[in-house]
Structure 1
Amino acid sequence: MVSSATVRILCVAGTRPEAIKLAPILLAAAERPNLDCRLCATGQHDALFDEALRDFGLSPDVRLAAPPHDPSPDVMVSRFADTIEPMLMDERPDIVLVQGDTNSAYAGALAAYRLGIPIGHVEAGLRSHDIALPWPEERNRVMIDRLADLLFAPTPESAANIEFERDVVKGRCLITGNTGIDALLTMRSRLLVGGPVKGRRLILLTCHRRESIGSGIEAICAAALRLADRGDVDILCPVHPNPAVAETVHNFLGRHSAISLTGALPYRDAVMAMVRAHVILTDSGGVQEEAPALGTPVLVLREVTERPEGIASGNLLLVGTDPDRIVAETNRLLDEPALHAAMARPAFPFGLGDASAKILDAIEQYFSSAPSDDHPLPFARTWIMDSAR
Structure 2
Amino acid sequence: MIVGTRPEAIKLAPLAHALAAIGIAPRLLLTGQHPNLRPEDHGLGGLPCDQLGCAGIADPIAHAALVAAAIEPILDRDLPDLVIVQGDTSSALGGARAAAKLDFALAHVEAGLRSFDQAMPWPEEGNRIAIDALADLLFAPTEGAAANLRSEEVTGEILVTGNTGIDALLAVLGTLAPLKPQARRLDDPLDILVTCHRRENWGGGIEAVAAALIELASERTARVEVIIHPNPQVADAMRMLFAREPGITLSPPTGHRGMIERMRRAELILSDSGGVQEEAPTLGVPLLVLRERTERPEALAAGNAMLVGTSTEQILADVRRLHRDRAALAAMARPSQPFGDGHAAPRIAGHIRRWLLHRDQRSSAA
Q: Which 10-residue stretch deviates more, 261-270 or 289-298?
A: 261-270
Is residue 87 from structure 1 mapped to residue 74 from structure 2 by the alignment?
A: yes
* Identical-residue share of aligned pairs (%): 47
Q: Which AA in structure 2 matches 1:32?
A: I
Deviations 1:258-287, CA, capped at 9 Å, x for gaps: 212122211111011111110000000110
Q: What is the one-letter code of the residue matched to 1:122?
A: V
The SS at the match of 2:224 is: strand
The residue aligned with 2:97 is 110
- Partners of 1:172 and 1:319 lie apart in 2 by 35
Structure 1 residues 129-208: aligned runs within 5 Å: 129-166=116-153, 169-198=154-183, 201-208=190-197
Q: CA deviation at 1:92?
A: 2.1
> Aligned residue for 1:14?
4
Q: For residue 228 of structure 1, what is the aligned residue in structure 2?
A: 217
The 2-side partners of 1:338 and 1:116 are apart by 55
Structure 1 distance, partners of 2:46, 2:181, is 35
TM-score (normalizing by structure 1): 0.88
The alpha carbon displacement at 1:194 in A equals 1.8
Shift of 1:233: 3.2
SS state at 1:109 partner: helix
Once residues 134 and 182 of structure 1 are traced to their aligned partners in structure 2, the CA distance between those partners, rounded to angstroms, is: 25
Shift of 1:230: 2.9
Equivalent residues in 2 for 1:309-324 (5 A)?
309-324=298-313
Q: For structure 1, which segment, 232-241 or 35-44, has the greater mean C-alpha deviation from structure 2 after superposition?
A: 232-241
How many residue pairs are counted as aligned between the two chains? 359
Residues 4-48 of structure 1: per-residue CA shift (max 9 Å, x gap): xxxxxxx10111110110011112222112x1222211111132x
Query: What CA distance in whole angstroms lies between the structure 1 residues aligned with 2:225 and 2:199?
Result: 21
What's the Cα RMSD here?
1.8
- Report the Cα distance in structure 2 between the residues aligned to 1:277 and 1:258, rounded to whole angstroms: 15
Distance across 2 between alignment mates of 1:82 and 1:306: 29
Give the deviation of 1:69 after TM superposition. 4.7
Deviation sequence 1:54-111 (CA, Å, 0-9, x none): 2536366324232365311111111111111112222221101100000111111111
CA distance in 1, matches of 2:18, 2:339: 19
Structure 1 residues 337 and 69: alpha-carbon distance in aligned structure 2, compared to 1, 3 A threshold: closer
Give the Cα separation in 2 of the matches to 1:43 and 1:68.
5
Aligned to 1:282: 271
CA distance in 1, matches of 2:111, 2:123: 15
Give distance in 1, aligned partners of 2:47 and 2:358: 30
Aligned to 1:357: 346
Aligned partner of 1:268: which letter? R
C-alpha spacing 1:69/1:313, structure 2 compared with 1 (3 Å): closer
Deviations 1:127-148 (A, max 9, x none): 0001111001001000000000
Could you tell me which residue of structure 2 aligns to residue 50 of structure 1? 38
* AA aligned opposite 1:119: L
Higher RCO (C-alpha under 8 Å, 6+ residues apart): 1
Aligned to 1:385: none
Does structure 2 retain, via aligned residues, the 8 Å contact 1:94–1:117?
yes
Separation in 2 of the partners of 1:277 and 1:264? Answer: 17
Q: Which residue number corresponds to residue 254 of structure 1? A: 243
- Checking the alignment, whether the CA contact within 8 Å between 1:279 and 1:333 is kept in structure 2 is no
The separation in 2 between residues aligned to 1:65 and 1:144, in whole angstroms, is: 20
